[in-house]
């Protein structure tokens, strides 16, 4: 009887010891499993925080670059147009002359309309700038067809040796010359301003350099009858960029 009780007590003690060892092993195993997960979570949170800080900094830097690059828009007023005798208006309206850019305030569609006859009469003794018609030697209108090519200038009717006046205020920029297909040379002078640039051919300039006011004498018309019998006496007016000067005269 005593022996049986002793055996039962021994078995219970062994079971208790085994259960204690198993419980301790599970605790250690659980700690090994959960520890990396906690470290991983903290690492991911740290990376997210760092990314947020970097994104904010890059956005701020981008905004600063955009502000620095853009800057403030260039301010304009209507003086650049009105001082030339033009009118600032939206370019969807008809201009009875020619539109000029960058002379008016506001959007790009608001442009300077230069009316017809904005320039002074060039030839002395004439009340207007009359374009030479067609004669035995050709026509004087812009883009009129000649023997070899298009006429990229306008011929204004003038009297032989008549005084030529400056059509607008500007500066003389030296002598110019031009040869026609037949080999005849036409001499003249260049006149420039902040807006316009023209070449006047078949005149004898009084001078080639210096500033002039609108209406100042530039020279006199050279006769053409000696070379071309029956031709209408005229001077040749040409824009430096080859465009049509007709809207200004």
Largest CA distance in the chain: 162
Q: Which of 192, 216, 187 is nearest to 204 (CA)?
A: 187
Could you give the angle at the alpha carbon of 175 between the alpha carbons of 173 and 178, nearest 5°? 125
Compute the distance between CA of residue 224 and CA of residue 226 in angstroms, rounded to an integer: 5
Three-state secondary structure call for residue 239? strand
pTM, to two decimals: 0.57
Angle, vertex CA 236, rays to CA 235 and CA 238, nearest 5: 150
Distances 219 to 108, 160, 236 between C-alpha atoms, Å: 39, 12, 13
> What's the token pair of residue 2?
């005593």
Per-residue pLDDT tens over the stretch 172-223: 999 999 887 777 788 999 999 988 899 999 999 999 999 999 999 999 999 9
| Residue pLDDT, tens place only, 28-77 | 555 444 444 445 455 545 555 554 544 544 554 455 444 444 444 445 78
């Amino acid at each position: 009887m005593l022996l049986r009780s002793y055996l039962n007590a021994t078995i219970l003690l062994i079971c208790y010891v085994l259960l204690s060892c198993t419980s301790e092993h599970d605790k250690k195993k659980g700690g090994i499993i959960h520890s990396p997960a906690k470290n991983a979570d903290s690492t991911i949170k740290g990376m997210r925080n760092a990314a947020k800080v970097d994104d904010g900094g890059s956005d701020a830097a981008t905004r600063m670059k955009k502000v620095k690059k853009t800057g403030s828009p260039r301010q304009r007023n209507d003086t650049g147009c009105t001082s030339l005798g033009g009118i600032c208006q939206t370019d969807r309206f008809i201009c009875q002359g020619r539109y000029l850019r960058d002379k008016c305030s506001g959007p790009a569609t608001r442009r300077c309309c230069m009316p017809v006859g904005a320039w002074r009469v060039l030839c002395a003794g004439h009340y207007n700038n009359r374009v030479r018609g067609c004669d035995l030697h050709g026509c004087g209108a812009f883009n009129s067809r000649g023997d070899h090519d298009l006429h990229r200038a306008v011929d204004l009717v003038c009297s032989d040796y008549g005084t030529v006046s400056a059509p607008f205020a500007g500066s003389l920029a030296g002598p110019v010359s031009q040869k026609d297909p037949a080999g005849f040379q036409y001499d003249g002078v260049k006149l420039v301003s902040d807006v316009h640039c023209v070449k006047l051919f078949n005149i004898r300039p009084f001078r080639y350099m210096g500033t002039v006011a609108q209406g100042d004498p530039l020279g006199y018309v050279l006769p053409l009858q000696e070379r071309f019998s029956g031709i209408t006496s005229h001077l040749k007016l040409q824009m430096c960029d080859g465009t049509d000067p007709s809207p200004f005269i």
